[in-house]
Amino acid sequence: MSIADERFIQNCKDILENGFSDVCYDVRPAWADTGEKAHTIKKFCIVNRYDLTKEFPVITLRKTFFKSAVDELLWIWQKKSNNTHDLKSKIWDAWADENGSIGKAYGYQLGIKHKYKEGEFDQVDRVLYDLKHNPLSRRIMTNIYNHADLHEMNLYPCAYSMTFNVTGNRLNGILNQRSQDMLVANNWNVCQYAVLLHMFAKVSGLVAGELVHVIADAHIYDRHIPIVEELIKREPLPAPTFEIDDIDDFYKFTVDNVRLKDYNYHEFNIKIPVAE
């Protein structure tokens, strides 16, 4: 059984059996197709741990579109872009203006330079610098939830903070996420930040260790419940093998430099309704 499948099934069962329903409350999200309020069942503070030395945490209950997930990751962390014209998929189109901009969000925040005693760095370059020069530092982190710019963001960041920690030759990371749609985004984000740890470890002469995923509000939308119930009844398949090319510069990575070998998954032909 894939560890990602195991975590997903456990989380969803916990939410469905023990979660809090907001059906009696006036909520912000609405269904894109009808405009009706999109209610959820949620659990507060779910924490999942993934040991990347053992396997890559991709679910097999249905396909996670790995290359698209990596493309979005590089759009944010490598290109530091906030424009959907730099992204191959259409997943951000709903939040983009007529020019393709999502405002001062995500990649925009990572690309802002800040002054340090060693010079000026943006957040990504500062992490890469510290991993090579100050690997035992307990200050290696990023944060894109910039309150001063929230009014100019078309969507507030969901996955907003990464804390990196080197233990021996292992690079570990904690991903903090304020909110997560479990069906649509859970494994997408897990795969992305597992890849990021692998990439950062590779260019820093380290080994990807443990990814800890902290979700403040883990929820399942009401119209997603039957889909989730069907998914978690499936028998998980073995996890694939993760492959990464020997690249020494984070900015040289492309989506083709990381691969999942023997990724088998259950077919999934259900159209998932989207809440905005």
Calpha distance 236→199 (Å, rounded): 27
Structure tokens given for 267:
């077919």
Q: Say if residues 181 and 15 touch (Cβ distance below 8 Å).
A: no
Annotated ligand binding at 220? The verdict is: yes
CA pair distance 109, 119, nearest whole angstrom:
18
> 138: annotated binding-site residue?
yes
User: Is 62 annotated for ligand binding?
Assistant: no
d(CA 135, CA 203): 13
Name, in order, each residue with C-beta under 8 angstroms of 44's C-beta and a sequence gap of 6 or more. 20, 216, 217, 218
180 annotated as belonging to a binding site for a ligand? yes
In the residue annotation, 12 being an active-site residue is answered as no
91 is in an annotated binding site: no
**192 labeled part of a ligand binding site:** no
The reply, when asked if residue 189 is annotated as ligand binding, is yes
- The response to whether 108 counts as a known ligand-binding position is no
Catalytic residue among 12, 24, 45, 158: 158
Q: How far apart are CA 157 and CA 179, in angstroms?
A: 9
- Is 179 annotated for ligand binding? yes
The reply to whether 51 sits in an annotated binding site is no
End-to-end, the C-alpha distance of the chain in Å comes to: 33
CA atoms within 13 A on the CB side of 123: 23
Task: Cite the DSSP H helix spans in 62-139.
Answer: 66-77, 107-110, 123-133
223 is in an annotated binding site: no
Q: Which residues are annotated as a binding site for dUMP?
A: 138-139, 178-181, 189, 219-221
Please give the positions annotated as active site.
158
Q: Which residues are annotated as a binding site?
A: 138-139, 178-181, 189, 219-221, 275
